[in-house]
Structures are given as structure tokens and as C-alpha cells.
Amino acid sequence: MLYYLYEYLTNHGIDIPGLHLLKYISFRAAMAVLLSLVIALVYGKRIINFLRNKQMGELVRDLGLQGQKQKEGTPTMGGFIIIFATIIPVLLFTRITNVYIVLLLVSMVWMGAIGFIDDYLKKIKKNKDGLSGIFKIIGQVGLGLIVGVTMYFHPDITIKRKYADAQFVNRNNAAQNFAPAQKETISTVPFMKNNEFDYSKILFWMNEEQQNEWAWVVFIPLVIFIVTAVSNGANITDGIDGLASGTSVVILGTLALFAYLSGNIIFADYLNIMFLPNMGETTIFAVALIGATIGFFWYNTYPAQVFMGDTGSLMLGGVIAVLAIILRKELLIPVLCGIFLIENLSVMLQVAVFKYRKRKYGIEYAQNNRLFKMSPLHHHYQLDGFHESKIVNRMIILGVMLAIICLITLKIR
């Protein structure tokens, strides 16, 4: 919004000192992260008090975990803090007509709404199961469909490849090193020399023209799968104080850097990576979300004053998935979102091993010989005697290590 004000005043010959800074993505990103952080810190307490007054406290099931019942009544639906603190700076500092910004805002509101319905049914309607799993899946598939169709058909979503014979970095005219913008269903393959993969090539039995025509058959279902998997992964990770919010900040920070580099033609030229036109604006969205999540983390660290609930966890996972997809970095998700992945896998393995042992040795043996003491994995470590804070801090450290590995892919190919 402020960017359009700058454009309007400049076009009408009105020069206000300092206003020209709004044309720089770096300045707008810095202002966005500061504003989102301040909003989350200042208004977060008020939202927590509001939720407490409305008796939106967490109903804790007794799982035998130390200190668990002490969390009974802690306000949930704290994801509102993150959403509120993100949307305001995004509306102020981004070019809100940018297709990527619109897509990210839709993703945030869409997944936040699904999480809110789930939390609402649990807290207001006293339905302990909340929103039925099938309806959650329908919501996630719906968002994946919106993202996939937009990515495939929208004319402003393009890429520019660097010419193979470009020999040098030219800061004055980096555009000459890049081919014209194209619409393609390609992604970045980490650690590979020719690190691009075209999803249309999966249809290998077709000729090239047919592959391009039917590429959506592969691309859109893959987008749906990624959105569903990552949002569920974040939801499962949100089990102890600060875990989902802390690890999400690390992931979002990495994606914000990728967005800035991919959306800047000079850095894209220097790093020999795909240039994604119009992508720079997503840096502002990503850092605004980082500031809002850090502000929420202030109140969510042990002992938590508020839980994000499904309103926050499903939203964070969905937005992270969409960010990775639009940045053509979705193949990095198993590494970058490694914490979400291992939490998800721990649940799947626990169930699979239990069913196998139950069928082979009987129910008593299966109950006494589980793969993990409890799943998701963070509960296993709790029962192993680790304090919540130690589990969260060590998983954040592991997340930082995985993020560094992802950043290394910019040079190791």
C-alpha cells in the first residue's frame, strides 16, 4: 500500500525526503519484520487475555507426561496473533497485486480458517475430536488445487534461465545473461550440476508437445500432496511449548533468503540460479511472518502463556509449503522441513509397527513393545526424561543445521 503511495507521489512530482526508500525491497522487508514483531509483542498479550476471558483454554488429555496437566486451561488459538501481526505489514509494505503475495495471503487465511474451525469445535462445541480428518484433508487439497492451478496457468508466474554460454556477471545489465521469461513446470534439484527437473518429463511416453500439454496431470497432484504433507507435519510438531514456532522461524528464514536471491537478477546471475520475476516481494511476506512468529514465540516458550492451536500450526505448515513451491524449492522440503518430517514419520512408524506386532504376536506384546515410548517423537524424549525446553532447543539447533545444508545447495551442484 505504501509502495503505491510512493509511486503515486513520484509520478505527480511530489518528493518527500526518505520516501524513495520504499522502492527498495530490503528496506520494506526490514520495516515489515520490525512492525510484525512489535504488533505480535504488543497485541499478543491482549489477544491472550481475550482468549482467556472467552475460556478458550486447552483441554489436555492425560498421556502420563510430566507437567502436562499443569497446562490445562492455557489459552489456545494463538495462531491469530501470527496471522494478525503478519497481514498488517504485508498490506502496508508489499505490492499487494503481486500474484505471489495474493497466493500467500490466500494460503494463510485458508489454512488459518481450517485450523480455526477445528479449534472452535474443540473449545466452544466441546467436541474433543474437532474437525473430522476428512474435512481437514478436503481443505488442504482445496488449497493445493488453488496453488497448483495458479502456478500452472497464471501468466505472471514465469522463470528466466541463465544462458549456458554467459561468461561473466554484469551488474549494469545482468538481464542480458538470461533467456526470455518462460512458463515451465520445473523445480530445482539440490546438489546436482544441471539442477533442474521438469515434471512434464515424467510423462516420458509422450512426445514433447504432449508432455507440455499434460504436465498439469503431474504437477497439480504433486502440489496438493506437498501442501497436505507439510501442513500435517507442522500440526503434529506442535506438541510442546515453542517447538512448532521455533522450528518454523528457521525454515521461514531460509525460504526468505531464497526468495530474495531468486528475485534479484544480480544475485541470480552471480549464483547461476533461476531468476524468478516478481519473486522479490515474497521476501517481505516471509520476513513479516518471521517477525510475527518470533513475537508469538515470546509468549509460547516454556511455560507457554498461549498455544497456537490448529489455527497456527496448519497455517504455518501450509504457508511454508506454498512458499517452497513458488520458489521452485519443493524438492528441498525433506531436508529443510526435516523436523516436521521426522515427527510425521515417527507417528506413521509407530502405528505401522504396532499393527504388525499386534497381528504377528498379539495385542499384549504389541502394547509392551512399541517402537517409541510415545509418538510423535518429542513425546518419546519427554518420557525418556528430557525437559521440554531441552527438546525444543536441540530440535531448533538441528533445524539450523538442516537450513545450512539447504543454503549450501546454492553453491554445491
Condensed to tens digits (0 to 9), the pLDDT of residues 113-151 reads 999 998 888 877 666 667 888 888 999 999 999 999 999
Confidence of residue 157 (pLDDT cuts 50, 70, 90): very high
Model pLDDT, residue 189: 86
170 pLDDT band (50/70/90 cuts)? low
pLDDT at 90 over 80: yes
pLDDT in tens, 94-118: 999 999 999 999 999 999 999 999 8
Name, of 19-28, 56-65, 279-288, the range with top average pLDDT.
279-288
What's the rounded mean pLDDT across residues 297-305? 91
Residue 368 has pLDDT above 80, yes or no: yes
- The reported pTM is 0.93
pLDDT above 90 covers what percent of the chain?
Answer: 56
Q: Tell me the angle at which helices 216-237 and 309-326 cross, rounded to the nearest 10 degrees.
A: 140
- Mean pLDDT computed over 280-290: 96
For the segment 51-55, the average pLDDT, to the nearest whole number, is 78
Q: What mean pLDDT do residues 367-387 have?
A: 89
pLDDT at position 299, please?
Answer: 93
Higher pLDDT among residues 133 and 30, named by residue: 30
Domains of the chain, by residue range, sit at: 2-331
